[in-house]
Each structure stands twice: as structure tokens, then as C-alpha cells.
Chain A
């Protein structure tokens, strides 16, 4: 029996279809990631599965209990832990009182153990808690009754890196104990560290369900580099390179960009917003009709010092990549997980094309990938 099974789950809010024919099964003992951009409908699925709202069509079972059967669902909730996306507790009571209430209703065999890892200021009133402390209190209550299945909605949001790491360790330890963990995330790098399988949701529809290694192999890495000399696009003509974008940026002797456009200089200084700088530079160059910033060519013959900025998605091994780049005079190199929306764009192109506007509007979705 699956720990969690969804069959054709559909949820409408008025005219809006938040979940459309979502079906998948989470096997016992699995760590299952539910991945998708914000607004894809992940929370809708979770809240429907836990019985907070009724499905418009289809159904789901939690540890064998059907969501339409309130009695059965209540019975299994003793064995289910839940962490909402933004856990909220009574503001005027202390953390102790919250946990005591939860303990009286579902048990607290592992409260102390969890509190030693996630130190929550239990003597203080929740009103005084930071977001991180509320999140930790939420994690403790979700796991303290030693549940068989834990459902976590964006569990690491609000946690600092140390606590994120502790959380990941907790999930791995729970997995070893045979606990099933289902959690949602919009951060691919978070999912890859602890998940066995992922389901990807886009616009309320399930895009795919697959093993995390498979997904990562297909999603690739985002590579950005800047080199002190001119590079022809041919230099990147090797396997695993996709969506190559090469720009040569000429600068005058003082280091200022030739056209007076500030963006290339900005790139040289920091480079955090490399892709935006590219776009700005390119469009302004076109508008001026000038050739000082020419994409994908170095044929014009630079006047001053030149930098070449490249970005591409790479799906091959990291060592071959470094071998290839070894001959270049690099100023900067960034290799990071491809943002989630790029994953969609690349591998679910047909679907993603229809939603391109939506992705453009929500660039933040995968932006904090590596944090």
C-alpha cells in the first residue's frame, strides 16, 4: 500500500483550476520531493490530501485512508506529521504550551531529541519568535510523535543554512528509520540532496514523476564565464553544451565601455546580474546601431581591452568541462544548478512554451537555487 496516493486529483477555486488530474504514489520509506515553481499548486495538493479542503474531483489516500472519509483520516493523522508552508501558532502562548497541546493529542515520544537539534526558545511566547524559530517549532511538532508519514510544505524556507543542513540530516535519518517523507519545494538543489524521487508540478498539472538522478542528468548546470580575451563560439562546440550565448564586450583604455553604456562595466565589477547586463547591453547596442557590443562574434577587431562573456547550459561531466575551459584566460567562472524554470523550458519545451510568460513573470522561483 502506498503511503500517499493521488488519483486524478482536481481542485478548483471558482474559475481557477489549481490542481488538474494529479496522480502519483509515494511508496513507504521513500523521500519524495514535490517540485514546482511558486504558484504551481503544490500547497493545494498538500492541503487537499490532508483534508483541509475537498477535492473537486478525484481522490487521494493517506496511509490507506481516503480523504473523503473524515473518520478514517482522523485516525491516520496520529501517524502523520505535517509542517505548513508558513507555520502559524497562537501568538500569546509559549512554545511549551503549543507542544504540550500537540503532545496531549498525538504524543511526543521524540520531543526532547528533536529539541536538542532544533533549539526553539520554548519559554518565550510565539509572538516573539522569528520566522526561523516558528519554522523550527513547526518541524519539532511535525516529527515529535514519531509519525510514519511526514508531509512538509517548503520545509527549509526560513531556515538558516546551518538549520537547513540539520533538517537534511534529520530527513536522511528518518528515511533510515523507514519514515516516508513527502515534501514540496521550488528549489531543485534542496530536493536533489535528500530525495529519492520527485514529481514536478507546473500550472497545476503533473509534468513528470521520476528519480532524482534522472532529472538531474537531464536538467544540467548553468555555466557562466568571462574571459580576458576573445573567444569564438566554436570554442564551445562540444558535447553537453546547450543554449550557448557568447558576447564580446569592448572597453576603452580606461576600462569604460566604448559606447558609454554602463552595463559591461557593471559586469566587470560584480557580475551578479550577468544575464541582465547582457540583455541591457545588447539591446542598447542595437538601438544605437553601433557595433561596440556584438553578440557571438569577435570579428570586428577590438579597440581596447576586451572581455568575452559566455553562458550556456551544460549536461555533461564536470571534468571534461574543465579540460575544455582550461586553455582560456578566465576572469570568472560560475557553475550552478540550472534554475527550475530552465529545467522546464529545456525538457518539457512543448508544455513550457505555453507558459513562457508565466515563467518570465516569476524569475525568483528558481533564483535562490544555491542558497
Chain B
């Protein structure tokens, strides 16, 4: 049925496009912020590393802090950036940001009565959930396209270029991680009727997972950290050791998919 197929093709992703368009400005602002953080880190590193002995400094820090932010060394710019920009900016800040944003996707519309108008349109609930989730690809994409360029050019300018393959890998592997964090937020968004509750729950759960994972790494209880998405994305391993955890990325993608499908099913069955 060609005509039907055509109609179907023209009525796909309208919601994702609509939602995504309205995320562009926010994504650019966020990217500018993290870009500035990157530039500051890169610009300050040469003078700091000349005056501060980072390895002595790291020895003075509690091991738990090093563990939490995956810090192994700061004597190279890769080690410094992996701790300052990626472990903090990407894993923690962006992870929480995506969980927070995703938690508003459905709950906010339900809370403010917009979901009725949306569901009066000829769209399935599954599609509403999926397309709203897909709109988060806008900030994820903008951040991961612009930031590596900034970091690469920046490290070139200070005469300490970062290996380009590692840089691309640290960003590429962050995408499954961020998608999984967003999946967690989405699940909260379909379960709770109030956006603020969904957002708080999503961020609290993600942060708790982060803390547990930080505390148990390297102990006999390391298995306790297995639900934490941070376990499967380690920027330091990528940038310092050049190790890419592809299995971890696959696990994160599967987790994201499971969370999205579960959210769709939940939302299909519930009263709005």
C-alpha cells in the first residue's frame, strides 16, 4: 500500500522534531557553558602543572574522592581533563541534567494538562513517549559534536594536543551513557504525575547510584555498583589508558532501550 506508506512516512517524528526544535537553544547554552569549562581547564593546565605537583596533590586527597571521579593522574593534560571536564562535567553534571530533562518529558505535560491535547491527536502513547525521548538527542548531539572540537583546538593551541582517537572515543562512548541516564529520567516521568517529583526522584536515584558505585569500586562489594550507569563509562580509562569499554557501551544502550520500552508500556496502561 504505497499511499498509506507515504502518509505514514510523512507523519513520523513530527513530535520529536517539534520537541527537538525547542531544545536547540538550551543545548547551545549548555554547550557554551561546558565549552567554557573546557577552555578554562585547558588554558590553566600548563601554568598549573608547572607550579603544582599534581601527583603529590592527588596523594593528599582521600582515595574515595579519586575513586569517585576516576582520577588516576593529573600529570598529563588527558588525566587532568578526564577528571575535571569528563568525570565531573560529563558523567555527573550531564548525567544528572539528562535525567532531569527526561523526567520532565511526560510528567510536565500531564501535570499541566497538556497531555490531553496531545493525546487527542492521532498518535499512540508509545509514540509520544518515544519521540519525546528522541528529542533529547539534540542536546546530546550538539554537546558531543562541539565540545571535542573545542578540546582538540584548545589542546593544540597550548601545545599539548590530546590524541584525537581517544578524544572522539570519550565523546562517542558518552552517548550511550547519557541515553541511559535519560532513560532513567523517562521512567520516572511516566510513573509520577508531577514533574518536580519525577525530576527529584530521577536525580536522586542517579546520584545515589553514583555514590554507591564510587564507594564500592575496588572493594569486595563492587557488584553493588552494577546498576550504576557510571560503571560502564569511564572517561579516564579512555583518555589515560586508551581503553574503550565497548561492552559497557552496549550494556548502556540495552539499558536505555529497556527503560524506554518499559516507559512506553507503563504509559500505555495508565490513566492520564
A residues apposed to B, CB below 8 Å? 47, 50-54, 70-71, 74-75, 77-78, 80-82, 84, 86-90, 92-93, 97, 101-102, 104-106, 138, 141
Interface residue count on the B side (C-beta < 8 Å): 21
What CA separation (Å) do A51 and B116 show in the bound complex? 10
What CA separation (Å) do A241 and B237 show in the bound complex? 91
User: Lowest 3 CB-CB distances: which A-B pairs, in order?
Assistant: A53-B271, A82-B120, A88-B113
What CA separation (Å) do A101 and B20 show in the bound complex? 12
Our pick among B11, B22, B120, B125 for the contact of A93 (Cβ within 8 Å) is: B22
Our pick among A88, A93, A104 for the contact of B117 (Cβ within 8 Å) is: A88
Asked if A74 and B124 make an inter-chain contact with CB atoms under 8 angstroms apart, the answer reads yes
Our pick among B116, B117, B121, B122 for the contact of A75 (Cβ within 8 Å) is: B122
Q: Give chain B interface residues in 135-158, CB to chain A under 8 Å.
A: none
Does B123 sit at the interface, judged by CB under 8 A? yes
Does B221 sit at the interface, judged by CB under 8 A? no
Q: Tell me the smallest distance from the CB of B133 to a CB of chain A, in Å.
A: 17
List 7 additional contacts besides A80-B120, A105-B121; criterion CB under 8 Å.
A52-B272, A53-B271, A77-B122, A82-B120, A87-B117, A101-B18, A138-B117
Encoded as 1 (CB less than 8 Å from any A CB) or 0, chain B from 238 to 272 comes to 00000000000000000000000000000010011
What CA separation (Å) do A47 and B116 show in the bound complex? 8
Q: Which residue of A has the minimal Cβ distance to B121?
A: A105
Does B65 sit at the interface, judged by CB under 8 A? no
**Which chain A residues lie closer than 8 Å to B122 at the CB level?**
74-75, 77-78, 105-106
**Which chain A residues lie closer than 8 Å to B18 at the CB level?**
97, 101
Asked if B14 and A104 make an inter-chain contact with CB atoms under 8 angstroms apart, the answer reads yes
Per DSSP, chain A at the interface is mixed
What CA separation (Å) do A129 and B190 show in the bound complex? 28
Asked if A70 and B125 make an inter-chain contact with CB atoms under 8 angstroms apart, the answer reads yes
Asked if B117 and A141 make an inter-chain contact with CB atoms under 8 angstroms apart, the answer reads yes
Does B93 sit at the interface, judged by CB under 8 A? no
What CA separation (Å) do A86 and B116 show in the bound complex? 10
Q: Tell me the smallest distance from the CB of B14 to a CB of chain A, in Å.
A: 4
Q: Tell me the smallest distance from the CB of A99 to a CB of chain B, in Å.
A: 12
Q: Which residue of A has the minimal Cβ distance to B120?
A: A82
Q: Give chain B interface residues in 110-137, CB to chain A under 8 Å.
A: 112-117, 119-125
Our pick among B14, B15, B123 for the contact of A74 (Cβ within 8 Å) is: B123
What CA separation (Å) do A77 and B11 show in the bound complex? 14
Asked if B120 and A50 make an inter-chain contact with CB atoms under 8 angstroms apart, the answer reads yes
**Which chain A residues lie closer than 8 Å to B11 at the CB level?**
104-105
**Which chain B residues lie closer than 8 Å to A106 at the CB level?**
121-122
Asked if A70 and B113 make an inter-chain contact with CB atoms under 8 angstroms apart, the answer reads no
**Which chain B residues lie closer than 8 Å to A101 at the CB level?**
14-15, 18
What CA separation (Å) do A78 and B121 show in the bound complex? 7
What CA separation (Å) do A84 and B120 show in the bound complex? 10
Q: Which residue of B has the minimal Cβ distance to A105?
A: B121
Asked if B121 and A53 make an inter-chain contact with CB atoms under 8 angstroms apart, the answer reads no
Asked if B117 and A89 make an inter-chain contact with CB atoms under 8 angstroms apart, the answer reads yes
What CA separation (Å) do A221 and B248 show in the bound complex? 75
**Which chain A residues lie closer than 8 Å to B115 at the CB level?**
52
**Which chain B residues lie closer than 8 Å to A89 at the CB level?**
114, 117
What CA separation (Å) do A80 and B122 show in the bound complex? 9
**Which chain A residues lie closer than 8 Å to B116 at the CB level?**
47, 50, 52, 82, 84, 88
Asked if B117 and A82 make an inter-chain contact with CB atoms under 8 angstroms apart, the answer reads yes
Q: Which residue of A has the minimal Cβ distance to B25?
A: A92
**Which chain A residues lie closer than 8 Å to B112 at the CB level?**
88
Q: Which residue of A has the minimal Cβ distance to B11?
A: A105
What CA separation (Å) do A84 and B119 show in the bound complex? 11
What CA separation (Å) do A50 and B268 show in the bound complex? 14
Our pick among B15, B22, B119, B121 for the contact of A52 (Cβ within 8 Å) is: B119
**Which chain B residues lie closer than 8 Å to A86 at the CB level?**
113
**Which chain A residues lie closer than 8 Å to B125 at the CB level?**
70
Q: Tell me the smallest distance from the CB of A22 to a CB of chain B, in Å.
A: 17
**Which chain B residues lie closer than 8 Å to A52 at the CB level?**
115-116, 119, 271-272
Q: Tell me the smallest distance from the CB of B127 to a CB of chain A, in Å.
A: 9
What CA separation (Å) do A56 and B117 show in the bound complex? 23
Q: Which residue of B has the minimal Cβ distance to A104?
A: B14
Asked if B271 and A88 make an inter-chain contact with CB atoms under 8 angstroms apart, the answer reads no
What CA separation (Å) do A84 and B272 show in the bound complex? 13
**Which chain B residues lie closer than 8 Å to A71 at the CB level?**
124
Q: Tell me the smallest distance from the CB of B68 to a CB of chain A, in Å.
A: 36
Asked if B124 and A77 make an inter-chain contact with CB atoms under 8 angstroms apart, the answer reads no
Asked if B268 and A70 make an inter-chain contact with CB atoms under 8 angstroms apart, the answer reads yes
What CA separation (Å) do A247 and B204 show in the bound complex? 67
Q: Which residue of B has the minimal Cβ distance to A78?
A: B122
**Which chain A residues lie closer than 8 Å to B271 at the CB level?**
52-54
What CA separation (Å) do A78 and B114 show in the bound complex? 18
Q: Which residue of A has the minimal Cβ distance to B13?
A: A104
- The listed residue with most B CB atoms (<10 A of its CB), out of A70, A74, A87, is A74
- The listed residue with most B CB atoms (<10 A of its CB), out of A70, A77, A93, A101, is A101
Asked if A105 and B123 make an inter-chain contact with CB atoms under 8 angstroms apart, the answer reads yes
Asked if A77 and B121 make an inter-chain contact with CB atoms under 8 angstroms apart, the answer reads yes
**Which chain B residues lie closer than 8 Å to A105 at the CB level?**
11, 14-15, 121-123
